[in-house]
Structure 1
């Protein structure tokens, strides 16, 4: 089967699956009137409103039922009290909490209805049999209301105890305990903002229902899309990685925009819960159910990060704050995406094929993607492999040791005697080689995909930490919601910068994104001039190798964004780049670009000087990439609002350069000894323990080194497939 035929078959399977479940939607595109007229009156299915006491289920149910012209049933009033012939309060007093839940279950399991809006009791989800019976009849919407709002409502209602609340247990504690049961049964979450009225919640319920009725709202298109292009579902773009026309996938109608009250609510949550709340708005529940998504997110950000805050925001000096993105297992910001992306990938895969993930890296992506995919469950590792290509002389020694530790199983790395751009270009060439893709599909039932930031599932989780940084400033009262911030990001491939712009699209008040380059300043030159010129430009080795990139992949998403989705323009520009190694945007478009981003670059000397100065003044040790950002931010930022500086890697990954910057004498050559030296300077609290342990356990790994030849790399891909998927069981 050739790749084109396989792709069409996969699209048909996905489309059929989706339509068999429910259609899709984007909440911001519906008015109440539209919903009332267009939501299918579900003669065979109910709308089930679930939530704790005080969530407003009964009142919301009445409003929704009236809007949709559907019967309204309240389980308390219309089922339990009629069945028992007494009030719920009297029944609870008579038999106690455990007995009440059992009797409630019996009554509910004898109840049947169709085409109704049903307000559940707060305790229905505590009994599995009751919820299995109810859930079969319709769609369960969880009214996720702020605990403080619930406490106030219950106080006004003079409710001081609920089912299951034992003596000595506070109302707040029992509400927290109950949350796990609501999270278990939901089909979709209705995230209620702080202070939302019953009418507000009812409108959100209607919009959530609308999400299941519009199949086109959350589709994805290529950045080079023409009108005739076939849009794809989230699962499709995660699996495919790169669009067939060579473009990158983006949401057809952009990102959903959250309301200020919703952001205020999310700001009170820990990082993993913030991620769930944000990503649920970006991933349709029929692609990844809220229950599955929550499990993946908590697995990704649970025990894998050394800091409890996952991505803590720390004050540096004056208006500057550092967003530490390096507390994951491989000490890089890439972990924030690559602890989650492999799980999303495995979830979306059809069972019919094996998949080999290819990644090119200038340093940090390699170890992060290898770590993330190696940690998949056994059944997924049997059909998903990952192969990383990295430049032999273009990464730090510690980065190389991290990657070359992966040489067996489903995760391997190979170095290439060239630079990152060659590695990335070769991978894109493989995806465009129909003969190669067809050969791998026919001979090995294997499909290639990518884990670089061109893959949407790699980019999307990065949006979360930009949102989270603003919410931390909100929570610690540095600003009020709506006050702007600027963000400074050391960038080469533009993925991290693009994710900040997407956070802005979701409603985070980011004024400007400042892009910081080292002396490979292709991005800053483009933003200043509107010309992207690769002619006669050579990649220069630097102390910040993760941004040693000349061909910036995610710039294509940015131009699509600022040109209001002009696929023809994007296609012409990037085809010209491939042919001529050059393109230029119009002056009008360049001015629009400058409204969104600013840019600058930093010399090697200034980078090291910044590390020394910051340590001298504050005791804080930056890595070389953060230092590039610091230098550029100091030059560009006007200091009229807070600035968030993204610290994309731990300083220990670049120990040799950092020790030189700190003017240390007698610097050891051994990487472990270098890390120990940094411990004596910054203290143990500034060291990355997982990185230190990795280096101590690694020893010296031999690894394969390839010539810079496309066919050689293609052969290594085939060898990897044979080793991974043709093993004798």
Structure 2
């Protein structure tokens, strides 16, 4: 039977349902299973299958304690009419490369792929102690996109509530409005004074606060769980789109079954690219996974030197969702690459917590670098790439995708290996930056910028984004980092 335990110890033995409900292990580690890769997905059978069918096969391999019927229901609810493209994650040619659009969901960001299905997974989990009044409070820090996608997924979902923290003044106007106007009786949104890493670290501390957990359980029948990619239920749905990309390449006769593919992935928290590693473990012929960073290039430095060091200047960039210095999901990759060495992982994470840095052994780094490539783009390069992509391909990309587009241009090309760039957000989430890059009028509000972008490029702004202009702002709270715990407690009492 497939069981899940922490990356830092093997004492837990949870089912996937229990791991999803819990979110993070008691010792601060992330849930992993040693069965990953024992079940392979038959890639020869992928051609012509709709996204939903591919999802059923991939998720069936990753979450075996969900029944076929449960998964079918979750998938049908998550990948239906709320998507603007029936292929869910369509693959499109882009010059000599391909682009995988992950932003056709309700909040125009790749997080929708996972956060439309996570609440459905949660609904099939049960309280550990049989407390039928127990509610799950989803607690999440966001660097921009997770927040809205989680809010949209969990709003008014039975048996749940959600509290989202975002760094004040460090997300785009559109991203902030997406969160602050969210409808739903069970949602709370709050800005914090600090950056994303501050907020994420505080959220992890809150998860580890045993006293608070006991108080929330006793006073409000509330348990905390996560919608960040530290939750295994957030991570595994993202594995599906790597298989979907491969299926579409097969269908378009770009590759034959078994041919290898490269993926270039804009990533901050390492979840989006880790899903590609999981796909490889499940049998997908992945040749390289290339980490594309912005100016906060902590992952680039790690992959080139073997030293992870978060003690460095934090830059606020035009690709805010990647402005992260502590890439939580790296821990899972290190666990698998070190062949399940929980002592090593525990030691590395302890070093990170105490000294802000750790160094991996040389043989482990060599193994990692065999699969993972890396590159990064500064602000000017991001702007240049948005312009370059439009000029060459008549295709508009957002600043996060532009980081990956830049890194792809820098890499040596193997003409026999197709390369897929993951596009993580609609350019309409960042219309001002995109307009500036394209030399269009970027004065006025983000909504005026959207109109200009639409008119000048012949593309259409997603209706949900444009509708934010007239939506009522419901949440204006701002707290210091050390006020987050009180905010969570008050939110739980109000349930």
TM range (shorter): over 0.9
Equivalent residues in 2 for 1:76-115, closer than 5 Å: none
Q: Using CA pairs below 8 Å that are at least 6 residues apart, which structure has the higher relative contact order?
A: 2
1:539 shift after superposition: 1.4
Structure 1 residues 403 and 556: alpha-carbon distance in aligned structure 2, compared to 1, 3 A threshold: same
One of 84, 98, 106 as aligned partner of 1:306: 84
Could you tell me the TM-score, scaled by structure 2's length? 0.96
Higher helix share: 1
Match of 2:164 in 1: 388
Looking at CA atoms only, which structure, 1 or 2, has the larger radius of gyration?
A: 1
Q: Which residue of 2 aligns with 1:499?
A: 275
1:194-273 matches, within 5 Å, as 217-226=1-10, 229-258=11-40, 262-273=42-53
1:298, distance to aligned residue in structure 2 (A): 1.0
Unaligned 5+ residue runs, structure 1?
1-216, 725-729
In the alignment, does 2:65 pair up with 1:291?
no
Rounded to whole Å, the distance in 2 between the matches of 1:563 and 1:610 is 36
Q: What is the CA-CA distance between 1:683 and the residue it aligns to?
A: 1.4
Conserved? CA contact 2:91–2:248, under 8 Å: yes
Cα deviation for residue 673 of structure 1 reads: 1.4
> In 1, distance between residues paired with 2:81 and 2:469?
21
CA RMSD of aligned residues (A): 1.4
SS in 1 for 2:367: helix
Specify the alignment match of 2:481 in structure 1.
708
Q: 1:659, CA displacement in angstroms?
A: 0.5
Deviations 1:553-584 (A, max 9, x none): 00100100111111110000001100010100
Aligned counterparts of 2:201 and 2:126: Cα–Cα separation in 1: 25
| Contact 2:182-2:474 at 8 Å conserved across structures | no
Q: Is the 8 A contact 2:219 2:493 kept in 1?
A: no
In the TM superposition, what is the alpha-carbon distance from 1:408 to its structure 2 partner? 5.2
Secondary structure of 2:191's aligned partner: strand
Q: 1:324 matched to which residue of 2?
A: 101
SS at 1:578 equivalent: helix
Q: What is the CA deviation profile of residues 312-350 of structure 1, one whole-angstrom value per residue up to 9, with x for unaligned ones?
A: 0000011x1000000000000000000000110121133
3-state SS in 2 of match to 1:281: helix
Which of 412, 420, 431 pairs up with 2:196? Answer: 420
* Deviation at residue 618 of structure 1 after TM alignment: 1.6
What is aligned with 2:61?
281
Separation (CA, whole Å) in 1 of partners of 2:298 and 2:493: 39
Please give the alpha-carbon distance, in whole angstroms, between the structure 1 residues aligned to 2:221 and 2:208.
Answer: 18
Structure-2 residue corresponding to 1:698: 471
* 1:723 equivalenced with 2:488 (yes/no): no
Aligned counterparts of 2:406 and 2:156: Cα–Cα separation in 1: 37
**Whole-angstrom CA distance in 2 between matches of 1:491 and 1:333:** 11
- The 3 A distance-change label for structure 1 pair 464 and 256 is farther
> What is the match of residue 36 of structure 1?
none
Deviation at residue 230 of structure 1 after TM alignment? 2.9
Secondary structure of the 1:638 match is: coil
Post-superposition shift, 1:244? 1.1
Aligned pair in 2 of structure 1 residues 656, 560: CA closer, same or farther (>3 Å)? same
Distance 2:359 2:92 in 1: 39
Partner SS, residue 46 of structure 2: helix
Could you tell me how far 1:437 is from its partner in structure 2?
A: 1.0
Aligned to 1:374: 155
Cα gap change, 1:699/1:615 in structure 2, threshold over 3 Å: closer, same or farther?
farther
2:350 aligns with one of 572, 575, 594: 575
The CA distance in 2 between the partners of 1:444 and 1:429, in whole Å, is 20
8 Å CA contact 2:440–2:453 kept in 1: the answer is no
String of CA shifts for 1:56-112, please: whole Å, max 9, x gaps.
xxxxxxxxxxxxxxxxxxxxxxxxxxxxxxxxxxxxxxxxxxxxxxxxxxxxxxxxx
- Report what 2:384 is aligned to: 609
Q: Secondary structure at the match of 2:104?
A: coil
Listed one character per residue, the Cα deviations across residues 623-680 of structure 1 (whole Å, up to 9, x for unaligned) are 0000000101111243331111000000000111000000113x23222211111110
Q: Secondary structure at the match of 1:502?
A: helix
Query: Is the CA contact (8 Å cut-off) linking 2:91 and 2:99 kept in structure 1?
Result: yes
CA distance in 2, matches of 1:406, 1:719: 19
Q: From the superposition, tell whether residues 264 and 328 of structure 1 become closer, same or farther in structure 2 (CA, over 3 Å).
A: same
Cα distance change, pair 272–407 in 1 and its aligned pair in 2 (3 A)? closer
1:231: Cα distance to partner? Answer: 1.4
Equivalent residue in structure 1 for 2:453, among 678, 698, 703: 678
Gaps of 5+ in 2: none
Question: Which residue in the other structure is 1:133 paired with?
Answer: none
Deviation at 1:239, TM superposition (A): 0.8
2:176 to 368, 375, 400: 400
